[in-house]
Amino acid sequence: MKREARRQLFQQVDVYPVTCEELSEGRTNLEVLEAVIQGGSKIIQLREKEYPKRDLYNLALKFRRITARAGVLLMINDYVDIALAVEADGVHLGQEDLPVQVARKLAPELLIGASTHSLEQALQAEEDGADYINIGPIFSTTTKEGVGRSLGPEAISEISPQIKVPFTVMGGINEENIDQVLAQGARRVAMVSAITRAADIAKKVRSLQDKIREFSE
Ligand code: TZP
Ligand code: MG
């Protein structure tokens, strides 16, 4: 798929699930993937920080087969080479990963998402060619260590009007506090534990989508 087609599909994203097997209550990443697809998610990000790269590649191949069949966008956290190798739809890069312009040169047709923690970083990522940016962490979270100060939901309405590309928000967001990010204008919400820890993941994805859609009306 071409980048433009991928960008169009990204427009439809509301809930943005991100994997973490350790926080999946005994379920495998593949089981979590099946459940989020059942719940109607349009996207998933494969994120596993501790996996040997070969294992991550092999899992990414399986994710690609399943997401392609379901028409779900597949994003790979951190690794442009794995994203290209498995023909994922994109790569999500943090401030300590390859710079966005470098990834763009290597992967002209991939979606590139960039984690940003300030207005300055958001503007830079956009200028460097990111297709979307993430603003976070919004609330405090134990999912990621050394994540830094949480920005608070107000950061969303401060930063988002200044950027043209779509944005996601992340960090400590769950069904109880999602209204606070929606009230600040967020419509694409990335979550790890609120989804991976849910007793019924498909049902959780659906109810989170309902909340986002309620706000969009
Ligand atoms: N980047 C900023 S916060 C975060 C990442 C990867 C983790 C978010 O996880 P959760 O469980 O949704 O708080
Ligand atoms: Mg990273």
Query: Residues 83-103: pLDDT tens digits?
Result: 999 999 999 999 999 999 999
* Whole-Å CA distances, 200 to 54, 162, 174, 206: 30, 37, 14, 10
Mutation test of ligand 1: which of 117, 144, 167, 168 has the most ligand atoms closer than 8 Å to its C-beta? 144
Three-state SS annotation for 25-83:
CCCCHHHHHHHHHHCCCCEEEECCCCCCHHHHHHHHHHHHHHHHHHCCEEEEECCHHHH
What are the strands, taking DSSP E only, across the chain? Answer: 15-17, 43-46, 73-77, 90-93, 111-116, 132-135, 167-169, 189-191
Q: What is the pLDDT of residue 119?
A: 98
User: Is the CB–ligand 1 distance for residue 193 below 6 Å?
Assistant: yes
- The residue nearest atom 8 of ligand 1, judged by CA position, is 171
Helices (H) and strands (E) in the chain, counts: 10, 8
Gap from CA of 3 to ligand 1 centroid (Å): 26
pLDDT at 217 over 80: no
Task: Name residue 113's beta-bridge partners.
Answer: 92, 132
58: pLDDT strictly greater than 90:
yes
For tokens 């405090």, the residue is 140
Identify the band that residue 2 occupies on the pLDDT scale cut at 50, 70 and 90.
very high
Measured CA to CA, the distance from residue 90 to residue 111 in angstroms comes to 4
- The confidence score (pLDDT) of residue 62 equals 98
Distance CA 65, CA 196 (A): 21
pLDDT in tens, 3-34: 999 999 999 999 999 999 999 999 999 999 99
pTM (whole model) above 0.85: yes
Residue 133 Cα to chain centre, angstroms: 9
